[in-house]
Structure 1
Amino acid sequence: MYSDEEKEALRTLLIARAEDETLSPAEFDLRLKRMFERKKIALGIVPNEQRPENE
């Protein structure tokens, strides 16, 4: 379901959260949400007009 790259990105994000106290829970959630949004866009689940403009 998830590529090795995606698994590694999530693993890296989880480790960063555990090691870096400056990464707030809100920032962690935001990064995780963005990662899943990119996955949906890559799979064609999100129409172009709903894509974030900065992506």
Structure 2
Amino acid sequence: MTAKRRPKRRTPASLDRSAKRAAQKEAGAFDGRFRPRVVRSRKTYARRPKHRGRSTE
């Protein structure tokens, strides 16, 4: 026989977070249109083009 699971104790902060997240899901915030899928790594060096001010004559 399996043991009955007791419901987890929910704090007011966790209830508030879950309500906010549900509202954001309803608004479509997590469907990929409003935020990128991947956060770009800041460990790689962002190279700037050389000689930015010069013209290409």
Q: Which category describes the TM-score, using the shorter chain as reference length?
A: 0.3 to 0.5
Q: Which has the higher helix share?
A: 1
- Give me the TM-score of the superposition, normalised by structure 2: 0.38
- Give me the TM-score of the superposition, normalised by structure 1: 0.39
Which is greater in Rg? 2
